[in-house]
Chain A
Amino acid sequence: MTQNTTQASADTKQATFEIQHRESIIGSYRTEIAIAIAIIVLALAVGSQVPQALSWGNFANITQAGAPLIIMSLGVLLVVITGGIDLSVGSVFSLTGMVTAQAMAHGFGGFEASLIGLSVGLLFGSINGFLVTIAGLAPFVVTLITFAVAGSLAFIVTNGRSMPIGDPDFWLLNSGSLVPGMPNYILFCIVLLVVIELFLKKIVAGRWFYAVGSSAQAARLLGIPVKRTTFLAYVASSLLASFSGLLTISYILNAESTAGSSLMLQAIAAVVIGGASLLGGTGTAVGAVLGALMITVIQNGVNLIGINSFWQGSVTGVAILIAVLIDRFSKSRRGAG
């Protein structure tokens, strides 16, 4: 017993002085690394069936097709981290496109029309944020309402007709290059990824998103501005959905009332694949972007291999399942829970 005692006290001495304070990148991005590996494996698997899947051209296809989803997922992520959900992003995406195209048809230039389009996002984000924070309604219900309203307005704007884009230079928004050698859609994705990731990790207001999602009650007692933070999350989410809508019409040069209808579930799926919990308090921008990429790679692969596109949903479903299992597994090894 004496032996036990001396050994134990030696342990305590060590323990007090060995608190690790450097953040391990591998440790904090464990899920993201696993998803990245899964994407590469997936791409190689597709490539083994269809060699041109690994070509530079197909890579450009994937990023171009994936950019709107990536940007929308980043917005949804912000809401999910605070413990909420945003079901209205797909409708806001469609409505933005319709309003922007209609504004151009009424003689506004591409730039002014885009601002008008973005104001759709600002408006619906503010409505969501207001109803969730001030009125205290459940996020699911609030955004279900705005999903329905924005969705129907997208038809009303043109009476359901699709709208061609008027401004001949509008395509530059998506495919021009502000930075030589890099198309804008990639630039936008990278900038937003970096800005949001740094905001969430390094800015105190970003840490508050996690605090609110972890426990709104604890956050309030700590003096964290819970309502302001939540409000901001919904505004950001809608604005990013709006921007994503602009990017899409500037690529297709045509706006359709139903353009965003499949995107909402995909964006939520991307966020979940990326390791965020729908209960709030976790998730990273890197994860959300990788989640969106994974969904895009799957869709692209299904097309290339020539599987009936009706299977896309099932394949995506399985991918979500695998991602969530990876996430759970990597967490339980860490010992939490």
Chain B
Amino acid sequence: MGTARQIVVSVSGLTKAYGATSVLKGVDFSVDRGEVHALLGGNGAGKSTMIRIITGSAAKDAGDIVFHSPSGELRTEAEGRRKIAVVHQELALLPHLTVAENIALPYFANGAALFNRKRAAGQAYDALAMIDREFAATSLQRLIGDLSLHEGQMVEIARALASGAELILLDEPTANLTAQETDRLFTVLRRLTRESGLSVVFVSHRMKEIRQIANVCTIIRDGRTVVDRAATASLTDADIIEKMGQTATAHVSERAAVPTRRALDGEPLIIKENGFRLELRPGTILGVAGAPAGPSTLIATLVGAARSRRWTVSHASWPDSFSSPRQAARLGSGFITGDRSHKGILHSLPIIDNVLASRRVVRGSKVTGVHEQTECLDLMQALKVKAASIWNLPNTLSGGTQQKLLLARWLGLPSRLLVLEEPTRGVDIGTKREIYHLIRQMAASGTVIVWWSTENAELLEVCDRVMAFDTEGRCAGVIENEDLSEDRLAELTGMAA
């Protein structure tokens, strides 16, 4: 560091405890003007907690947070926070308002009593167009509640980018984005940091993205800073993973290391769309790639969430179509939603009810029991869930840990089909490998797995075949095991970077 640092915010000795659980045990962290700073750490390390404290939505126990202005002067906390924009891990949009209103409302928060629809739309358009011109042109008047998860995420990011903040904190912004959207986001971030000196704090569990966008990184582990402001390029993947405290073998990502499995005997599952027919033998792991519009109707049909005229799914022991998710679940079609916060977690029920929900439905259990507690603990152990008690509410867990609760629901539950929407969203690198392994085990026992992911690398690693959808939502073809490659996927999904 030759030239003097231009610090935007610096945090030192930050501590925070929730009841008896100490979450931050003395974190140091600082961000310079114009840098993209990766904040790294395993699930539950304390990343989101620190972000909440910096933005003032949670209170600290001890430690200092100091804000500086561009000219280097100290700022008060209130002043400093006004220059910060944040995108939290779980979306925080108003579902009954339009996209334009959601983006523009903050501008009208003080002063102007009249909400000027035209001006709001203009501001919202400018903000959204920074990342996606087409989305901006078509979606300003749509209600947030009607948007898909990734569209909602775009709106949040656009709102932050357009806020005029000097520092933006992005807590896993890419977990809900498609590969193409991520690329566009990165282009914008690079431009803004270069041209207007914007600083970005970026949380992600995807090594590739960290390498692409971040020049500096800080690693926290169990509430302590273990690497403070290192140049990202100076650390190897193995270094980073080790510092995060993940297992040493975790970074081995050799597709060849996966033993090729042979399809099992048994009734196949057949997926049909006019003119297209796909037969899945028990034990197949089918990847689904591409923009969400296509996969979502297929998935809704597979799990009985909605009927579709487009798709037919048939199996010897199933009806022509499922009348409800309940029927689907009881006939052995499992589902783990990608919208963890709105469609997955039961927020007012303790962890144990969340984990056992699917088991109770499938088994038709009548009473809860002590044996369930053992089962819940076993599942949590298998997924390395860090929690103080199985009777705590899910919102006492970190985002990635909540994702593990969803996975636990169907893990090891005998089923014919298991549909996974972005199952490793927000899960740390070490646990991801663990999950791949556990899902492969389920496949080996005869379950057909349908795995939708926006992370192509993940599909390449776990899937036998991948069904690709183009940007219009049409099925563009199925790539078989031997032909799978990132280029081929990008080509078929129309998302060549």
Which residue numbers of A lie inside 8 Å of B, CB to CB?
1, 4-5, 7-9, 11-12, 15-16, 18-24, 27-28, 201-205, 207, 210-211, 213-215, 217-225, 277, 280-282, 333-337
Contacts and interface: CB of A to CB of B under 8 A. Distances in A.
Name the residue in A21, A203, A205, A333 with the highest tally of chain B Cβ atoms < 10 Å from its Cβ. A21
A20 B391 contact: yes
A interface, over-half SS: helix
**5 pairs of A and B residues whose beta carbons are closest in the complex:** A281-B348, A223-B329, A20-B389, A335-B18, A223-B326
B325 A218 contact: no
B188 to A, nearest CB: 32
A201 B353 CA distance: 11
A299 to B, nearest CB: 31
Given A21-B376, A24-B391, A203-B368, A215 B342 contact: yes
A327 B377 CA distance: 29
Interface string B355-372: 001101110011110000
Contact of B396 (A19, A220, A336): A336
B326 A224 contact: yes
B328 to A, nearest CB: 7
Interface string B333-345: 0010100001111
B380 A19 contact: yes
Contacts of B225: 4
Given A213-B348, A223-B328, A8 B368 contact: no
Contact of A335 (B303, B373, B396): B396
B346 A210 contact: yes
22 contacts: A4-B224, A5-B221, A16-B384, A16-B386, A18-B388, A19-B380, A21-B389, A21-B390, A24-B391, A201-B368, A202-B368, A204-B366, A204-B368, A210-B353, A211-B353, A214-B349, A215-B343, A217-B342, A220-B326, A280-B348, A281-B348, A335-B18
Nearest to A24: B391
B75 interface: no
B211 interface: no
A7 B345 CA distance: 33
Contacts of B391: 20, 23-24, 27-28
Contact of A214 (B348, B362, B366, B380): B348
A101 B333 CA distance: 54
Given A20-B388, A203-B367, A223 B346 contact: no
Contacts of A222: 325, 329, 357-358, 361, 409
B222 interface: yes
B226 A1 contact: yes
Contact of A4 (B21, B226, B325, B345): B226
B245 interface: yes
A15 B245 CA distance: 14
A334 B390 CA distance: 14
B367 A224 contact: no
Interface centre among A11, A333, A337 (most CB of B within 10 A): A11
A221 B325 contact: yes
B347 interface: yes
B305 A9 contact: no
A207 B359 CA distance: 13
A210 B349 contact: yes
Nearest to A198: B367
Contacts of A20: 388-391
B245 A218 contact: no
A213 B232 CA distance: 46
Q: Which of A15, A211, A218 has the most CB of B within 10 A?
A: A218
Contacts of B66: none
Contact of A337 (B243, B357, B381, B395): B395
Contacts of A28: 391
A19 B388 contact: yes
Contacts of B349: 207, 210-211, 214, 281
Contact of B361 (A1, A7, A223): A223
A221 B343 contact: yes
- Which of A7, A12, A282 has most B Cβ within 10 Å? A12
A163 B69 CA distance: 79
B326 A225 contact: yes
B330 interface: yes
Contacts of B390: 19-21
A301 B396 CA distance: 41
Contacts of B11: none
A333 B330 CA distance: 40
B348 A204 contact: no
A213 B353 CA distance: 14
B97 interface: no
B224 A8 contact: yes
A91 B486 CA distance: 66
Nearest to B364: A204
A220 B324 CA distance: 8
A8 B226 contact: yes
A293 B391 CA distance: 28
Nearest to B330: A223
A22 B381 CA distance: 16
Contacts of B192: none
| Candidate in A7, A215, A217, A277 with the most chain B CB atoms within 10 angstroms | A215
A207 B221 CA distance: 36
A221 B342 contact: no
Most chain A C-beta atoms within 10 Å of own C-beta, residue among B221, B305, B327, B366: B221
Contacts of A336: 393, 395-396
Nearest to A223: B329
A225 B386 CA distance: 31
Contacts of A280: 348
Nearest to B26: A4
**Residue among A9, A20, A27, A337 with the most chain B CB within 10 A?**
A20
A194 to B, nearest CB: 15
A69 B245 CA distance: 57
Nearest to B353: A207
Nearest to B334: A223
A272 to B, nearest CB: 15
Contacts of B303: 221
Contacts of A211: 346, 349, 353, 357
Nearest to A335: B18
Residue of B345, B357, B358, B391 most packed against chain A (CB within 10 A): B357
A18 B377 CA distance: 10
Contacts of A333: 19
Contacts of A204: 360, 365-368
B221 A221 contact: no
